[in-house]
Amino acid sequence: MDPETLDLARLQFALTAGGHFLFVALTLGMALVVACLQTAATVTNRPTHQRMVRFWGQLYVINYAVGIITGLVMEFQFGLSWSGLTHYAGNVFGASLAVETIVAFFVESTFLGLWIFGWHRFNRWVHLGTIWVVALTACVSAYWILVSNGFLNHPVGHRTENGALVLADAGALLTNPSSLLAFGHILGGALLTAGFFMAGVSAYHLFRRTPEVAFFVRSLRIGVFVSFPALWVTAGFGGVQLASLADLQPMKSAVFSGKTAEIADLQAEMVTRFGPGDYVPSEMWTRGGALVMLIAFALMMYLSLAGVVLACFRKAVQRFRLWHVVLMAAVPLPYLAMISGWVFREAGRQPWVVYGLLKTEDAVSGHSPGTMLASLITFTVLFAALAVLNGWLLLRHARLGPVETGLGHDERAGAEPVTAGPPPFTPRY
């Protein structure tokens, strides 16, 4: 395998997977938040809750719609750039990817469509049920992705037939500790991202002296009180993952800890087991990713602790402009933590694509460097354009505030346009 092709393939996967992950973090968290908001709106029938469903639901739909395109590209990459991986291990990790596709693109997308177009058509409880199906299937979708990723990091439940891996124990695959711990970590991180996003957008409007004070005071408090417990859930699962590395991936653990003697011993041991080669992952990416993640976590911890205290005082929520600026500036922190954590997780298992079984250099497709470079440029331009489009749409709709949008608009003949005040939630209340 041409080393240049391998480097380009790895760079392409890093950019596209990382770009897609940015969309997933907010989508997964906002799906759960919007479902909880609509539950409150359905039970209490309070106008503020009803308007919050529409406003935050609109931002969720924008992020989902743009992000779904990036997910399609991820599916193509395995066959186009990593044919060695699919031929060797596709019978195991490919099954969970296929289930995730069915869940995400059939169940989740179908019920999201029913939720978007079901306003004023469904009974309010039926409409509530559609968003909960969307939120829960989003969680299930994330789980199946992590089943595949967990297998690559800690392969279990397989046997070898004719030089390829086949599934031998579905239970072991589905309960892989590398998958379950990562699932809890990602779910907490997604809620953390959604909480910081809600708090930051709300702080922007309060900073600008919005007339929608009650709306954004409540939204800011929700963002703060969602992000605080989510932060500790994320940290808890992350801490357990770090502790488990000594058993699951001892080389990554040694590089992260900077134990030079242990690294040398493990290198010698792996040369004996697998033959000549460099089995030490990049210290810059492995330790660097972990350190950036921990620094971002520390900053969010202090902000969350202060936020919980300040959120208890309405005057501080409404008028503390310095806090508003800090909350707006803090919106990127969960993204930074999640991307750097992902870099730590993926770079730390190199040179393996399936840990201990298949090296990355043996997994890449046999393309020429020119072909891989053209593919990299195409995907990078596409993802950059989608990221810019998503950012522009989110900023545009977030700045508008809770005004009438297409989401939840009553299109019935004779219905009054919703221009001010709380719009009706459904016609069957």
Lowest mean pLDDT among 21-25, 185-189, 265-269, 333-337: 21-25
Q: How far apart, in whole angstroms, are the C-alpha atoms of residue 51 and residue 424?
A: 9
Band of pLDDT at residue 95, cut at 50, 70 and 90: confident
Name the more confident of 160 and 403.
160
pTM value > 0.75? yes
Q: What are phi and psi of 46, to 5 degrees?
A: -80, 135
Phi, psi of 160 (to 5 degrees): -105, 130
Query: In this predicted model, which residue has the larger pLDDT, 291 or 380?
Result: 291
Query: For the chain, what percent of residues have pLDDT higher than 70?
Result: 94
Nearest residue to 67 via CA among 105, 14, 11, 114? 105
Counting every residue written for the chain, the total comes to 429
As a whole number of angstroms, the distance between CA 109 and CA 141 comes to 11
Domain locations in the chain? 3-249+281-400
CA distance 148 to 89: 10
- Mean pLDDT across the stretch 164-184? 93
* pLDDT value at 294 more than 90: yes
Give 405's pLDDT tier (boundaries 50, 70, 90).
low
**Residue 14 clears pLDDT 80, i.e. is over it:** yes
Q: What is the pLDDT at residue 421?
A: 39
State yes or no: pLDDT of 425 exceeds 70: no
350-374 pLDDT, tens per residue?
999 999 999 999 988 888 888 889 9
Q: Say whether pLDDT at 50 is over 90.
A: no
Average pLDDT over residues 192-203: 95
Tokens of 257: 């800890």
Instruction: Say how far apart CA 326 and CA 303 lie, in whole Å.
Output: 9
Whole-angstrom distance, CA of residue 104 vs CA of residue 91: 20
- Residue predicted with more confidence, 388 or 103: 388
Look at residue 266 in the predicted model and tell me its pLDDT.
Answer: 93
Q: Specify the pLDDT at position 186.
A: 94
In the predicted model, is pLDDT for residue 428 greater than 90?
no
The mean of the pLDDT values for the chain is: 87
Residue 412 pLDDT > 80, yes or no? no
Given this model, what pLDDT does residue 100 score?
84
Q: pLDDT class for 77, splitting at 50, 70, 90?
A: confident
pLDDT of residue 418: 42
**Cα-based distances in Å from 86 to 148, 165, 320, 322, 365:** 12, 10, 54, 52, 10
| Predicted local confidence at residue 1, as pLDDT | 62
Q: What SS3 string covers the chain?
A: CCHHHHHHHHHHHHHHHHHHHHHHHHHHHHHHHHHHHHHHHHHHCCHHHHHHHHHHHHHHHHHHHHHHHHHHHHHHHHHHHCHHHHHHHHHHHHHHHHHHHHHHHHHHHHHHHHHHHCCCCCCHHHHHHHHHHHHHHHHHHHHHHHHHHHHHHCCCCEEEECCEEEECCHHHHHCCHHHHHHHHHHHHHHHHHHHHHHHHHHHHHHHCCCCCHHHHHHHHHHHHHHHHHHHHHHHHHHHHHHHHHHHHCHHHHHHHHCCHHHHHHHHHHHHHHHCCCCCCCCHHHHHHHHHHHHHHHHHHHHHHHHHHHHCCCHHHHHHCHHHHHHHHHCCHHHHHHHHHHHHHHHHCCCCEEECCCEEHHHHCCCCCHHHHHHHHHHHHHHHHHHHHHHHHHHHHHHHHCCCCCCCCCCCCCCCCCCCCCCCCCCCCC
Residues of the chain above pLDDT 90, percent:
52
- Would you say residue 379 has pLDDT above 70? yes
Residue showing tokens 């993204």: 335
pLDDT digits (tens, 9 = 90+) for 296-348: 999 999 999 999 999 989 888 888 999 999 999 999 999 999 999 999 999 98
For residue 429, the model assigns a pLDDT of 31
Distance CA 392, CA 346 (A): 30
Q: Of 1-5, 52-56, 412-416, where does mean pLDDT reach its minimum?
A: 412-416
102-135 per-position pLDDT tens digit? 877 788 889 999 998 888 788 889 999 999 999 9
For residues 370-385, give the mean pLDDT: 87
Rounded to an integer, what distance in angstroms lies between the CA atom of residue 4 and that of residue 1?
Answer: 9
Do 20 and 74 contact (CB within 8 A), yes or no? yes
* Structure tokens belonging to residue 74: 């991820």
Give the pLDDT band of residue 419 (cuts 50, 70, 90). very low
Mean predicted confidence (pLDDT) in 147-154: 92
